[in-house]
Amino acid sequence: MLYNLPNFLTFLRILAIPLFVGIFYFPHTWLLPANQNLIAALIFAGAAITDWLDGYLARVMNQISAFGAFLDPVADKLMVSAALIVLVYLGRLDAPIALIIIGREIAVSALREWMAQIGRSKSVAVSFLGKIKTSSQMVAIPLLLYHDTIGDNFDAQQIGTWLIYVAAVLTLWSMFYYLKAALPQVLKEEKKNF
């Protein structure tokens, strides 16, 4: 089922990435910095909502497909990586935090692929800890993109910074959790090949 609504929403997320990044390259005579921040935050928030929505629709409409299961996490990782790189470029996020989050995504994706090849993908299925990490990240990034104060007292940059640090700690913690879950299988495979 390549052509269905959940996959269409996933494709939209991928297509939104160049627009999301490009917003910050518009001349300030076209789009003021505050408007760039707002539009980028809204695009990212929309992507986060469609991430939840496409999975929900796939289950409810019984349109779960192997292609969708492959494409959905790719779209998520591309959007989050693009956002983190933009935030580093704008000076709103420290590069080591972005490297921790992006590096973990690459490492865990590779681990999941390898575990799937040996028929043990359930050993590294998404954990509750991973879901908390993702939630923290999905709230932090739009706040960091928005950057400005909301109302009189809500400093989006400060709250976003705290949340992205929480996400970075949970990122490392969940990566070690997945590695610990996979280690017995790694050792078993090594014994077979030795």
The better pLDDT of the pair 90, 180 is held by 90
Q: What is the pTM of this model?
A: 0.86
pLDDT at 58 over 60: yes
Q: Please, what is the end-to-end C-alpha distance for the chain in angstroms?
A: 41
User: Tens digit of pLDDT for each residue in 87-134?
Assistant: 999 999 999 999 999 998 898 888 777 777 766 656 556 667 778 888
Mean pLDDT of 49-56: 86
% of the chain with per-residue pLDDT over 90: 40
Give me the residue spans of the domains in the chain: 5-193
Task: Give me the helices (H) in 23-123, please.
Answer: 33-60, 66-89, 95-117
pLDDT at 185: 75
- Alpha-carbon gap, residue 189 to 60, rounded angstroms: 38
3-state secondary structure at position 127: coil
User: Tens digit of pLDDT for each residue in 26-46?
Assistant: 888 898 988 999 999 999 999
- Alpha-carbon gap, residue 79 to 102, rounded angstroms: 11
3-state secondary structure at position 3: coil
What superfamily does domain 5-193 belong to in CATH? CDP-alcohol phosphotransferase transmembrane (TM) domain (1.20.120.1760)
- For residue 20, how many other CB atoms are within 10 A of its CB? 23
The better pLDDT of the pair 83, 133 is held by 83
